[in-house]
Amino acid sequence: MGQQQLRFTKTRLIRMKTFLLLIAIALISTQQISAEPKCCAGPCKAPYEKYYSVDHIFNRCGECCMLPQDFWKYKIFEIGLTKAKTDSPCADTKSPFKNQGDYTVYEKTVTHGTKMLNMTLDMYSPATLMEVKDSNTPCCNGTCPKGLSKYYSVDHGFGHAPFCGETCLDPKKFGIYHIFEKNLTLATEHPDHPCMYQFDPVGGHYSVYNKTVTHGVPHVLAVTLDLWGEGM
């Protein structure tokens, strides 16, 4: 056996031993749940960099701050481990499951591994999209509570019956909601019940209460509103 081949064999043996050692560490690894706040929110402190991984089986996303030179060690055990392009990779990653949004709901901070090899990470679950709930009890009749203002939006219908929605919002957040609801309007006239004074497509008014719904992403961006239909 030549010297070059011998060196190559030794190198392979060293790598194999290292790999087996890491596997052994993984087999005796434990999980600890931290009582501390988030470990890794926002940008990581240099020289650490942000990495993340999405577990599609349990539908969770984890973020951590890691030294770039240690990446390969953890990649062996977490194939999905990826270097982040933003400071909030989980919040910028959409769940592949139907009716679910980005991983924005913080759950807990955990530490995986042993004293020799461990990693602390923040765990997130996906936000739920679509309507959250319906109710037969109006939320926004009359004057809005202090600090909130009455807004309304008219949908004259395209493939559905026309309706008008009323809600009480913090005026400071109007710009955010207006991005998603272009017809959202401040009720400067008749603020107690603006839908009653909006004309429907046949010349009537939206005077018949239908239901109360909550739209949006729970715990992130949601709004509850009363829906009013056409009157006689």
| Per-residue pLDDT tens over the stretch 30-55 | 455 554 589 999 999 999 999 999 98
Instruction: Map out the domains of the chain as residue ranges.
Output: 30-125, 134-230
Percentage of the chain exceeding pLDDT 90: 41
User: 182-220 b/e with 16+ CB inside 10 Å = b?
Assistant: eebbebeeebebbbeebebeeeebbbeebebbbbbbeee
Q: What angle is formed at CA 104 by the lines to CA 101 and CA 105, rounded to 5 degrees?
A: 110
CB atoms within 10 A of CB 42: 11
CB atoms within 10 A of CB 99: 10
Q: Does the pLDDT of residue 132 top 60, yes or no?
A: no
In degrees and rounded to multiples of 5, residue 108 shows phi and psi of: -170, 165
Q: What is the DSSP string of 117-134?
A: SEEEEEEEEPPB-S---E
Q: Does the pLDDT of residue 26 top 50, yes or no?
A: no
Q: How far apart are CA 91 and CA 86, in angstroms?
A: 10
Sequence-separated contacts (24+) of 174-179 with Cβ below 8 Å: 176/221, 177/151, 177/221, 177/223
Closest-CA residue to 195 (of 170, 216, 167): 167
| Per-residue pLDDT tens over the stretch 134-155 | 678 899 988 999 899 999 999 8
**pLDDT at residue number 131:** 47
Query: What tokens does 193 get?
Result: 């019940």
| Per-residue pLDDT tens over the stretch 51-71 | 999 987 678 899 999 999 999
Length of the chain, please? Answer: 232
| Per-residue pLDDT tens over the stretch 159-185 | 567 889 999 999 998 988 888 788 899
> For the residues 115-130, what does the mean pLDDT come to?
83
Q: Does the pLDDT of residue 111 top 60, yes or no?
A: yes
Q: What is the pTM of this model?
A: 0.47
> Sheet of 49-55: strands edge to edge?
30-34, 105-113, 118-125, 60-66, 49-55, 82-83
**pLDDT at residue number 203:** 85
